[in-house]
Amino acid sequence: MAEIRLRGLSKSFGSNSVVRNVDLDVKDGEFIVLLGSSGCGKSTVLRMIAGLEKVTDGEIWIGGELVNDEPPSSRNVGMVFQNYALYPHLTVAGNLGFGLAARRRGRGRRAAREDERRQIRETAELLEIDHVLTHRPKELSGGQRQRVALGRAIIRRPDVFLMDEPLSNLDANLRERMRLELAQLHRKLRITTIYVTHDQGEALTLADRIVVLHDGQVHQVGTADDVYDRPADTYVARFLGSPGMNLYTLPPARIGDDLVLADGALRLPAAALPPGAGDGRPLSIGIRPEHLALAADPPGGPVSQGPRPAGSGDFPAEAAGTSPPDGATTAGRTVLRCRVDILERLGSHLLVHGSLSTGQTVIARLDAQAAVRQGEQIVLTARTADTHFFDPDSGDRLVTASMPQLAGARA
């Protein structure tokens, strides 16, 4: 077991800079997920840690040792590839034992072999593949192949465990099951793990900490709550969540105590603003679709033009403070006025795609029973605590009094 330290890690292929100046500290036994869209350099980072790719610039430390110039074999790193990369001509037992036999040196051969057989058996039992030990990879199911690949990486108890999208070749059900098993396996073995994925669901469930990578650069390092509740910048805000955060950059105008943007399409109490923000300067505002709710008492008269089902406006306004149910009040909240363009019914909930008077789109995730119709005007509100502010130029998060940014959440 070991901690990993990356310092200014960079990689270029020719003039193409793929990984830029990545700093990261992974604690001993930690499960880190590298999350980013396709082509952002996740695999390259992993391959550099494994020693399969030369470092262009920067340092890699594993267990307190600078390993930049160490070959892969002496880094004691186990890796699972996206396509499993099982040796097709060896049996499952042969696949599991290959690394053991390769490292067998000196010692009594018979004793060593006996020892290897025991390790193979134990690992196979751990992963529940002991009944297919004599099979070749092509005789296995996808899930079994996945387990063999895992087993081959963990059998010699590496200091570091690297996984490059290990679940992406499995069907949805199996993926969820394997996700849980991976989490359990990690709890059992506590091997320092770096896990690459572009699936935020995997990242949020598995990770001790998530590293959001974009264009070869680290945008944020933090727990699932950090990156979700306190995105460090607009990229992270938009990338996480499905769908991602609604973001508006608008020139503000103050009316009384409220900050009003774009002729009242968006309005919020000025008190909620981060200090110094919105004083004549444009401001980026973000609200997650799931934090939006239908307003019960639309300010300035009835909102809806179309007929609405009886009783739909009578939802009791529940305590503000938790995520609001439909029918929340607008007082002291962020308010959005929009026209409903498309409704997407997704069983447990309803996705509303709307547009502001400025033409910008808004997506709200409402209760499946929400009384909304296509074409009508609606008013959506969110808690100011769920309203995020970003610098319109740099995209960086602006810290508000009500929601302080965690120290060190940003790399």
Partner 1 sequence: MSGTISRARPLSVARGRERSADGRVPGRRRWPARLRRMEESLVAYGMLAPAITVFTVFFFIPAIFLAYISFFHWGILSSATTFVGLKNFRILFQQPLFFHSLAVTAYYTVVMIPATVVLALGIALVLREAVTARRGGIWRSAVFLPHVTPVVATSVIWVWIFNPQFGLANFVLTSLHLPALGWLGSTTWALPAVMIDSLWHSLGLYVIIFLAGLANVPRELIEVAQLDGASRRRIFRRIVLPLLSPTTFFVVILSTVSSWQAFSQIYTMTGGPHGGAGGPAFSTTTDALLIYQTAFSYDHFSLAAAMSMVLFLIILLLTLIQKWISNRLVFYR
The reply on whether position 12 binds ligand ATP by CB under 6 A is no
CB of 300 to ligand ATP, least distance (A): 48
Cα 404 from Cα 90, distance rounded (Å): 55
Q: Taking the alpha carbons of 317, 329, 327, 384 in that order, is the dihedral positive or negative?
A: negative
Binding partner of 138, given partner 1, ligand ATP, Mg ion, none, CB within 5-8 angstroms per partner class: partner 1
Rg from Cα positions in the chain:
26
The reply on whether position 103 binds partner 1 by CB under 8 A is yes
For β-strands 4-13 and 217-222, DSSP reports them as unpaired
> By rule CB under 8 A, what count of residues binds partner 1?
23
Could you give phi then psi for residue 198, rounded to 5 degrees? -110, 10
Residue number of the CB closest to ligand ATP reads 43
The reply on whether position 55 binds ligand ATP by CB under 6 A is no
The reply on whether position 388 binds ligand ATP by CB under 6 A is no
Cα 386 from Cα 349, distance rounded (Å): 20
C-beta of 22 vs 127, nearer to ligand ATP: 22
Q: Are 379 and 298 in contact (CB under 8 A)?
A: yes
CB of 196 to partner 1, least distance (A): 14
The reply on whether position 43 binds ligand ATP by CB under 6 A is yes
Cα 31 from Cα 344, distance rounded (Å): 36
Residue range at the interface with partner 1 (CB under 8 A); choices 45-53, 54-62, 187-195, 249-257 = 45-53
Half-sphere exposure of 13 (CA within 13 A, CB side): 7
CB of 264 to partner 1, least distance (A): 57
**In the numeric block, which tokens belong to residue 22?**
């990545």
Give the count of beta carbons closer than 10 Å to the beta carbon of residue 37. 13
Give the count of beta carbons closer than 10 Å to the beta carbon of residue 90. 14
Helix 92-103 and helix 142-154, axial crossing angle in degrees, nearest 10:
10
Q: Cα 324 vs. chain centroid, distance in angstroms?
A: 24
Sole binder of ligand ATP in the list 6, 9, 20, 44 (CB under 6 A): 44
The reply on whether position 60 binds partner 1 by CB under 8 A is no
Q: Are 258 and 269 in contact (CB under 8 A)?
A: yes
Helix 142-154 and helix 109-126, axial crossing angle in degrees, nearest 10:
130
Cα 51 from Cα 68, distance rounded (Å): 8
> By rule CB under 6 A, what count of residues binds ligand ATP?
12
Sole binder of ligand ATP in the list 24, 26, 31, 41 (CB under 6 A): 41
Per DSSP, 347 falls in state S
Binding partner of 52, given ligand ATP, partner 1, Mg ion, none, CB within 5-8 angstroms per partner class: partner 1
Binding partner of 98, given Mg ion, partner 1, ligand ATP, none, CB within 5-8 angstroms per partner class: partner 1
The reply on whether position 381 binds Mg ion by CB under 5 A is no
Q: Are 298 and 343 in contact (CB under 8 A)?
A: no
Sole binder of partner 1 in the list 46, 48, 50, 295 (CB under 8 A): 50
> Which x/- pattern over 20-59 shows residues binding Mg ion (rule: CB under 5 A)?
-----------------------x----------------
The reply on whether position 85 binds partner 1 by CB under 8 A is yes
Binding partner of 41, given ligand ATP, Mg ion, partner 1, none, CB within 5-8 angstroms per partner class: ligand ATP
Binding partner of 102, given partner 1, Mg ion, ligand ATP, none, CB within 5-8 angstroms per partner class: partner 1
Question: Burial of 310 by CB count in 10 Å (0-12 exposed, 13-18 middle, 19+ buried)?
Answer: exposed
CB of 281 to partner 1, least distance (A): 51
**34, containing H or E segment:** strand 31-35
Binding partner of 152, given partner 1, ligand ATP, Mg ion, none, CB within 5-8 angstroms per partner class: partner 1
Residues that bind Mg ion (CB under 5 A): 43
The residue ranges that bind ligand ATP (CB under 6 A) are: 13, 16, 18, 36, 38-44, 198
Residues of this chain that bind partner 1 (CB under 8 A): 50-52, 71-74, 77-79, 81, 83, 85, 87-89, 98-99, 102-103, 138, 152, 156
